[in-house]
Amino acid sequence: MKKLIINADDFGRHALINEAVARAVSQGALRSATLMPGEPAFDEAVQLAKSLPELGVGVHLTLVDGTPVLAPSDVPSLVTPGGHFLPDHGAFIRQYLQGHISRQDITRELDAQLDKVLDAGLRPTHVDSHQHLHMLPGIFPIVLDLAAKHHIRRVRISRGIYGNPFTPWPGVGDLVGKFGLEALALRDRRMARARGFAFPGHFVGQVAGGAVTADFMRDLSARFPEGVVEVMLHPGLDNNILAQASGWQHDYEGEFAGVCDADVLARLAGQGIQPANFGVLS
């Protein structure tokens, strides 16, 4: 069995991401996305999800680089004076390690995010997180507790793989991120399994924003292992607009094209690799 879960992160962040998700379902191999509950295009994403029966939708739990669902005064340790989350995982981890982030605030906010998705009429397939913060010690158990409370039994186990899914990328900074995530993944896999959660056997991700291009997908199809592989994706339809909106220079268009490329789709089919969402996991 070879199942490919291509998951579009940041669903609901921008209309051009939402449209890319919808097109990549109808034109490509995308069958999974994770929804950011506090972002401005959330309502549109919900309506699109309801119109796309092949698309499994999870929750992209967010603690940085976004806006809380709760009032900032309800989660004061998570927000800046302007009422937004801290800008990125680096800023969050520094505050977290110094004891300035309240786990009660984390629990309240993530619980509210899950409630918002359920109240919108969606049944989440799984949970993951923006910038992999659900993997952190002390936060991963909270996420599992909240997911179980909401009857969600599937979770992403992020790993620090860059480039080809089975070979490391040699950049020093990225190797630090890679091995940090690898260490967390070993522990979190054991915890998730002990708690009865399912997760893909393989994770293909970019710890430094590298793009999942058509060449990447062709290489993956040639090396695809038995079992279920998740590919983390950030598709979009206009790099310039999305970079300005998100503050992240990323090849959104290249990733969208990579999972819709006709040659890629033919290679996946030829290798017997079936596009899927987290619903295939049990």
What is the per-residue pLDDT across 235-274, written as a single tens digit (0 to 9) for each?
A: 999 999 999 999 988 999 999 999 999 999 999 999 999 9
Is the pLDDT higher at 44 or at 160? 44
Cα distance between residue 9 and residue 198, in whole Å: 19
199 token code pair? 């997760």
Proportion of the chain above pLDDT 70, given as a percent: 91
Predicted local confidence at residue 253, as pLDDT: 96
3 phi and psi angles, rounded to 5 deg: -115, 135
Q: Are 70 and 108 in contact (CB under 8 A)?
A: yes
pLDDT at 205 over 80: no
pTM of the shown model: 0.93
Cα distance between residue 216 and residue 214, in whole Å: 5
The DSSP output letter for 247 is S
Q: What mean pLDDT is reported for the chain?
A: 92
192 token code pair? 């998730």
Predicted local confidence at residue 248, as pLDDT: 87
| CATH code at 2-272 | 3.20.20.370
Cα distance between residue 3 and residue 198, in whole Å: 14
pLDDT at 55 over 90: yes
What is the per-residue pLDDT across 116-158, written as a single tens digit (0 to 9) for each?
A: 999 999 999 999 999 999 999 999 999 999 999 999 999 999 8
Task: Please report which confidence band the pLDDT of residue 209 belongs to, taking 50, 70 and 90 as the band edges.
Answer: low
**How close are the terminal C-alpha atoms of the chain, in Å?**
14
Tokens 């994706």 sit at which residue?
233
Q: Three-state SS for 58?
A: strand
What is the per-residue pLDDT across 146-189, written as a single tens digit (0 to 9) for each?
A: 999 999 999 999 875 544 444 444 443 444 455 677 889 999 99
